[in-house]
Amino acid sequence: MFGYRVPAPDEAMLISGGRRGLGGAPFRVVTGHGKFVLPVFRKVRFLTLSMCESEVTETCVTRQGIALHVRAVIAFKVGNDHESIINAGQRFLSDQEQMSVLTGRIFAGHLRAIIGSMTVEEIVTERQKLAAEVLDTSKTEMAKIGLIVDSLQIQSIDDGDTGYIDAMSAPHKAAIQRQAQIAQAQATQTAAEAQQEAARKQAEYARQTAVVQAAYSAEVDRAQAQAAQAGPLAQAHAQQEVLAAQTELALRQAKLRQQQLVAEVVKPAEAEAERVRILAAAEAQRMKIQAEAAASYDRVALDRMLIDQLPQIVKEAAGGLAGANVNVLNGADGLGEIAAGLVSQGLTILDSVRQNLGGQESDGARSSGARSENKGDGPLQLPTGKQKKSDDGPVDVD
């Protein structure tokens, strides 16, 4: 549109004519947007806001009196605020290239001043400190002309032919060389050790290879030997299996024969022996029962016989006393005592006979024979000390 002007993104548009700008400036500042400008009545100029560069190469003397050639690069630009743009526009609008020249001169002066207060060792080892001090001392002056410094880099420091920096770095160089030599020696040693280790591994590998080859050869030989012996071994195994089968058959036949003998001989013999034993036990039991029955019968018969003969025994005893010379002192009472004694003697004889029969119950047959002998008509045998001597003699009574 006619009369409408727009500044670039890295430019500031300065409009002069008409009203004054901020703070009594002879122009108005427009950035970031367009502005309608009356032609002929207004004049428009543009101030760059882009980054600029200035290189400084200066010979500076240190606090020790040693001259150093210092080379530095400054990156700067016009400030974005209206005050900085106004300051820079009033100073550099007609010749904007002068910004780099003036900035280089300003920093050269501050660089000489700062280096003059430092030693070579500080300058060499603390370059960042040197750059920070130069920026701090120049910040105020740069703000007055509307410029701001983004960075300051010390690119090189050289002492020329004096050799001070080389002498200062000699111990470090020696230490570095010594460390380099040590590192080289260590590297050489490591390489030698690596070579020796590689040689040992190669030897070990060769040994293992030889061992494996020998093992393979031995295994092949063993397989060939086994193959050569396979036929005889198979025949021997077959014969061994035949012998084992024959042995097993013989054992089975022997076991079968043993079972047959047991079934044909042992079992019938055991059955016969058991039958004989049972018959013998039954016969013995029968005989025992018969003997006990006979003994019981004989004892009852003997008791009955003794009871039946007891009056006869008493009578015989009394008859023996009839011809005897017996003095009776008590008359009828004395005769009664004699008769009572005879009866008591007969009872005692009967008890004695019963006791003798009780001790002989187990011998039934012999007792039966003895009782058979006593059943005759002969006189009864009395116990010792209680017997009748004769018809005319006296009768002894215990």
**pLDDT, position 382:** 38
**pLDDT, position 131:** 87
Q: For residue 15, list its beta bridge partners.
A: 28, 44
Residue 51 tokens, joined: 């980054």
DSSP state for residue 50 in the 8-state scheme: S
Neighbours of 30 (CB within 10 A): 21
**pLDDT, position 385:** 40
Contact yes or no for 16/27 (Cβ under 8 A): yes
Contact yes or no for 148/165 (Cβ under 8 A): no
The kind and range of the H/E element at 296 are helix 267-322
Residue 185 tokens, joined: 């020696």
Task: State how far the Cα of 245 lies from the Cα of 239, in Å rounded to an integer.
Answer: 10
Between strands 43-48 and 11-16, the pairing is: antiparallel
Contact yes or no for 322/353 (Cβ under 8 A): no
* Residue located via tokens 């605020």: 81
**pLDDT, position 314:** 59
User: Which among 159, 165, 67 is positioned nearest to 116, based on CA atoms?
Assistant: 67
Mean pLDDT by 10 residues, the chain (398 residues): 76 78 73 79 85 89 88 89 86 87 89 88 85 87 88 85 79 84 90 91 91 90 85 83 90 89 85 86 85 74 68 63 50 54 63 59 46 42 40 40
Neighbours of 90 (CB within 10 A): 15
The amino acid that residue 156 corresponds to is S
Task: State how far the Cα of 182 lies from the Cα of 156, in Å rounded to an integer.
Answer: 31
Task: State how far the Cα of 27 lies from the Cα of 13, in Å rounded to an integer.
Answer: 10
Contact yes or no for 302/360 (Cβ under 8 A): no
Contact yes or no for 52/148 (Cβ under 8 A): no
Q: For residue 36, list its beta bridge partners.
A: 4
Residue 220 tokens, joined: 């092949």
User: Which among 42, 68, 84 is positioned nearest to 158, based on CA atoms?
Assistant: 68
Neighbours of 99 (CB within 10 A): 21
Residue 289 tokens, joined: 């029962």
Angle at 68 (CA atoms; ends 62, 71), nearest 5 degrees: 120
User: Which among 87, 78, 79, 58 is positioned nearest to 70, based on CA atoms?
Assistant: 58
For residue 139, give every residue at least 6 positions away whose Cβ sits within 8 Å of its Cβ, in sequence order, or none.
149
Residue 41 tokens, joined: 């009545």
pTM of the model: 0.40
**pLDDT, position 24:** 66
**pLDDT, position 395:** 40
